[in-house]
A and B are shown apart, each in its own frame.
Chain A
């Protein structure tokens, strides 16, 4: 089904060069095969070790007392009664921990509140006790006196001159991470409560708007949602007698987290060891240290290891959910409905702390804005703003779902206003070979129109439909990530088996299986011959972790580099064994080595090498980090809904999703990413929303925070357009952040098609649709 071309292109954006390398065609043994998950059996039999499964002698349980106020001064804290409770081993408040603040870029998160609290749910005190129950009983004995302060909850209000300033002191940030690559970035500009303001320009949007045939302006709002992983944030810290700090934490990037922890607690990086654990879902939400620092201080104070597990109430009210956003788009079109310019203003509500994300602002707020279209002039302003609400973090394609909901609704609204079919509107403006992206970047292999057409055909866009039924579409583009360092080690044992040691956990995506397939492919062996060893941070090379659709590309390149070296080392060994020059050695399709008149298989060769002290053999490999690949990919979603006019209830009947793909490494995990992402998007379109009241999250359990279940999922058809041209080493494209981004707009566009009600705020609710219908009736 999926075929790789003979010639692969390796994009290297950082140096502006592109090298060509010739790869062997796929063996058919590994890449492209529906290989079972390498961690599958361990997970379904309960043997997989999650952070919460780790047990240690003398282990204590840690719990935190959280603020009931969105903004207050802490007048006093009395922990006397809590300390006296039998079974309590340590009690800490802000006064007991250093002043250092933590953050992945902006260092603004205190370990425990110091003097003030800035959101409902902020950690004010912590207890370690023999059991969770004792720790919770102790929290109830802590008396805190607060003096409430003015609070602000909306980003727009927080930017007003009279707004209370949430972080009056200067916030330190990592300068490197602030370096702007896309436009003009100001960190902490002179606007109240603004963390960052990024202005990106390409062409001259202002002039184009001034002289345009027609201009459309619409505003949209997208609420915060939770990542919805099954495993809550969990960590365990043990300090050894030798001072080595052992950490088990549900974190998607242990190496970077270790670096941040070292800086925060003032311990050398090589005296901290993050141990490998399985992760029960991440969706971008597990990049921070969350409770790890307070857990460390509790362990230190108690002299015993401490485990902390957030309960579901804490996850929903004080995790690090997606940023809510308000977006205004102004677009100029010519008489043929061609897009001339887009001016976008995107405001992200960051909540009380900015440190949960490793960037100044969310990449998806601008990076792929209208990326599926040819827009010669573009001006984007992105603001990220503090408010007294739960601090927000990253979630699957950070910023993109919010902005894409706006863009894909806006394009639909323009099409309807111009009397144009929404598919035709998009086809006409689809970016194509030779066009620059709205940000002025050059990309290749632009198959936007082909993707739309393939989806429209499968969906039956032009087929007649009954009253009350609506159809809508949306599209999106996003390249694989090629940023950040990945380091791996390949080892061939004395039995010829291959082990890949890497520093990245499998966050649940199936990445370890993909890695095993990539390794197997290089050596033309079956995946059964490859072991995956997730190293701890002392024993594995640096790995920047799962994010931005990068792992298959970056670890793929690191594996390729290690495999190249390994093949050379093996050829040298074989030459020694077969008494010839390494250049005479050929590698057979079965992985054996041959010289004129002689042949040896890998296993025999390694046995021979072992006797001479030359096996096992280990080779390192690294990627060459760039930014993004210049081969992007496209997705087009089509949705069909039925709307009940009496209640406003929307039923999602059918989804067709079309994806422009390169080599599909594993059709099962690939389809899993597509379906999982779509289901997540269905939740965000139809029911999920973190609801705040006076700054506090009130959707605090899963009866109120409405995740979709199997009962809510519509019929789904997936169309793949294999086309190669992907990134090295096997011409892959990315899939992880492709399906979850644009679907909500396809659904709201379908609602409009069905009953003429336009929803500019997510999620859809029956009540909102009914209000729209009533407004329509009273206008008529």
Chain B
């Protein structure tokens, strides 16, 4: 690890000021991704700005027909939240299968989506539930937020403060986990909200994406069988030691069908 300064931010504005002024400073949330990166000397930030002390970033609340989750809310708290469990059980379940207990007790939703790991679970839910990412500057629609591998719409001094998930009629998440880390080799989130169907796929490609053909088919008939004749092309999907792109393409279909069945 290289040397860096450490600073605990008192407020979002305070944190934004520091990262705005110092391009080399970095925000730290749960540290589950950032700290290993530092340990491997893959990053050399001048300072770490800890968001852990900012009360306004924590907590889960219901706002009208949406569940709003503060950026610093840990995975374990989403998994155990009575609000989330009753309004969007699929989201609570997704959170309960992230990594292992240690990771769930440190990792945060803000850190997860800001990082945009291609194998992370949350991005599929954000996209399929058509959530809104709220930052210190603006509101960003799910479809505009995740840009590319480890890349988001966030500006250099922009901080995720919360994510607002509209409550769906039906939703479910199915993942085929990496046996070691439990990251998604493929994860498919299906949701029907206000009559609209969205299917978010993570793990399979360089960045989360929507499987539009499946959305159209499920829009006509909300039934796993509607997907039987669809297939995803392997071109452009990830191929690595965990799975080939062909296998990932196959899993997208299987996981989507199972998710629809699970959503009921």
Asked if B222 is an interface residue, CB under 8 A from chain A, the answer is no
The docked-state distance in angstroms from the alpha carbon of A136 to that of B180 is 29
Residues of A within 8 A of B100 (CB): 709, 711
Residue on A nearest B244 in the bound complex, by CB: A767
Q: A691-B241, A767-B244 are in contact. Are A702 and B180 (CB under 8 A)?
A: yes
Q: Are A703 and B181 in contact (CB under 8 A)?
A: yes
Q: Using Cβ atoms and an 8 Å threshold, which residues of chain B touch A703? A: 178, 180-181, 183
Which of A647, A706, A766, A767 is in CB contact (< 8 Å) with B180?
A706
Q: Does B5 lie at the interface of the complex (its beta carbon under 8 Å from any beta carbon of A)?
A: no
Interface of A is mostly: loop
A77 within 8 A of B: no
Asked if B41 is at the interface (CB within 8 A of a chain A CB), the reply is yes
Q: How far is the CA of A646 from the CA of B243 in the complex (A)?
A: 15
Q: Are B241 and A647 in contact (CB under 8 A)?
A: no
Give A692-715 interface residues, CB cut-off 8 Å to B: 698-699, 702-709, 711-712
Whether A687 lies near B241 (C-beta < 8 A) is: no
Say yes or no: A136 contacts B41, CB within 8 Å: yes
Question: With A and B bound together, what is the CA distance between A707 and B244 in angstroms?
Answer: 21
Q: How far is the CA of A646 from the CA of B254 in the complex (A)?
A: 7
A767 touches B247 (CB 8 A): yes
**Known contacts A133-B1, A698-B241; is A647 also within 8 Å of B176 by CB?**
yes
Is residue B172 within 8 Å, beta carbon to beta carbon, of the partner chain? no
When distances are taken between beta carbons in the complex, the residues of chain A under 8 Å from B241 are 691, 698-699, 704
**Complex contact A704–B180 (CB within 8 A):** yes
Q: Which residues of B contact A712 (CB under 8 A)?
A: 179
When chains A and B are docked, how far (Å) is the Cα of A50 from the Cα of B40?
24
Chain A CB within 8 A of B250 CB: yes
Report chain A residues within 8 Å CB of B218: none
> Is A686 close to B, CB under 8 A?
yes
The distance from the CB of A302 to the nearest CB of chain B, in whole angstroms, is 24
* Residue numbers in B under 8 Å from A766 (CB-CB): 176, 247
B218 CB, nearest partner CB in chain A, Å:
18
Would you give the 0/1 interface string for A35-78, flagging 1 where the beta carbon is closer than 8 Å to chain B? 00000000000000000000000000000000000000000000
Minimum CB distance partner of B3 in chain A: A133
Cα separation A65 to B181 with both chains bound (whole Å): 29
Flag if B243 contacts A707 (CB, 8 Å).
no
Asked if A649 lies at the interface with its beta carbon under 8 angstroms from chain B, I say: yes
B1-42 interface (Cβ within 8 A of A): 1, 40-41
Residue of A nearest to B247 (CB): A767
CA A702 to CA B178, docked complex, whole Å: 11
Q: Which residues of the other chain, B, contact A698 by a CB distance below 8 angstroms?
A: 241
Smallest CB–CB gap between A599 and chain B, Å?
60
Q: Does A2 contact B (CB under 8 A)?
A: no
In the bound complex, residues from chain A placing their C-beta under 8 Å from that of B68 are none
Chain A's nearest CB lies how many Å from the CB of B213?
19
Q: How far is the CB of B256 from chain A (nearest CB, A)?
A: 12
Instruction: Check: B251 CB closer than 8 A to any chain A CB.
Output: yes
Contact with B along A639-658 (1 / 0, CB 8 A): 00000001101000000000
Q: In the complex, what distance in Å separates the CA atom of A691 from the CA atom of B242? A: 11
| Distance, CA A362 to CA B1, complexed state (A) | 40
Tally A residues with Cβ within 8 Å of B: 24
Answer whether residue A770 sits at the interface, using C-beta atoms and an 8 A cutoff: yes
Determine the distance from Cα of A133 to Cα of B41 in the docked complex, in whole angstroms: 10
* B159: min CB distance to chain A, Å: 27
Taken residue by residue from 224 to 254, chain B's Cβ proximity to chain A (1 for < 8 Å, 0 otherwise) reads as: 0000000000000000011110010011001
- Residues 189 to 220 of chain B near chain A (Cβ within 8 Å): none
User: How many angstroms between the C-alpha atoms of A173 and B128 in the bound complex?
Assistant: 64
Find residues 35-90 in chain B having any chain A CB closer than 8 Å to their own CB.
40-41
Residues on B with beta carbons closer than 8 Å to the beta carbon of A646: 254
Give chain B residues whose Cβ lies under 8 Å from the Cβ of A313.
40
| A residues 648-702 touching B (CB-CB < 8 Å) | 649, 686-687, 691, 698-699, 702
State how many angstroms separate the Cβ of B42 from the closest Cβ of chain A: 12
Q: Which residues of B contact A767 (CB under 8 A)?
A: 243-244, 247
Q: Cα distance A708–B242 when bound, in Å?
A: 15
B254, A686: Cβ atoms closer than 8 Å: no
Chain A CB within 10 Å, residue with most, of B41, B180, B242, B244: B180
Report the separation of the CA atoms of residues A42 and B50 in the bound assembly, to the nearest whole angstrom.
37
0/1 interface trace, chain A 284-328, chain B, CB 8 Å (1 if under): 000000000000000000000000000001000000000000000
CB-nearest residue of chain A to B185? A766
Task: Kindly list chain B residues whose C-beta atoms are within 8 Å of the C-beta of A709.
Answer: 100
Chain A: minimal CB distance from B115 (Å): 14
| CB <8 Å contact, B179 and A770 | no
Please, how many angstroms separate the alpha-carbon atoms of A698 and B242 in the complex?
12
CA of A699 to CA of B183 in the docked complex: distance in angstroms? 16
Flag if B183 contacts A770 (CB, 8 Å). Answer: no
B-chain residues with CB within 8 Å of residue A708 when the two chains form the complex: 179
A contact residues around B179 at 8 Å (CB): 686-687, 706, 708, 712
Contacts of A707 in B (CB 8 A): 180
- Chain B 70-114, CB-CB to A under 8 Å as 1, else 0, gives 000000000000000000000000000000100000000000000
Q: Which residues of A contact B40 (CB under 8 A)?
A: 313
Complex: how many Å from CA A413 to CA B180?
Answer: 31
| A768 to B, closest residue via Cβ | B247
Cα–Cα distance between A649 and B247 once the two chains are bound (Å): 12
Q: Which residues of A contact B (CB under 8 A)?
A: 133, 136, 313, 646-647, 649, 686-687, 691, 698-699, 702-709, 711-712, 766-767, 770
Q: A766-B176, A767-B247 are in contact. List 15 more A-B contacts (CB 8 A).
A: A133-B1, A136-B41, A647-B254, A686-B179, A703-B180, A703-B181, A704-B180, A704-B242, A705-B180, A706-B179, A711-B100, A766-B247, A767-B243, A767-B244, A770-B247
> Which B residues contact A (CB, under 8 angstroms)?
1, 40-41, 100, 176, 178-181, 183, 241-244, 247, 250-251, 254
7 nearest A-B residue pairs (beta carbon): A706-B180, A703-B181, A767-B247, A687-B179, A646-B254, A691-B241, A706-B179
Name 22 interchain pairs, CB-CB below 8 A, sorted by A. A647-B176, A647-B254, A649-B176, A687-B179, A687-B180, A691-B241, A698-B241, A699-B241, A703-B183, A704-B180, A705-B180, A706-B178, A706-B179, A707-B180, A709-B100, A712-B179, A766-B247, A767-B243, A767-B244, A767-B247, A770-B247, A770-B250
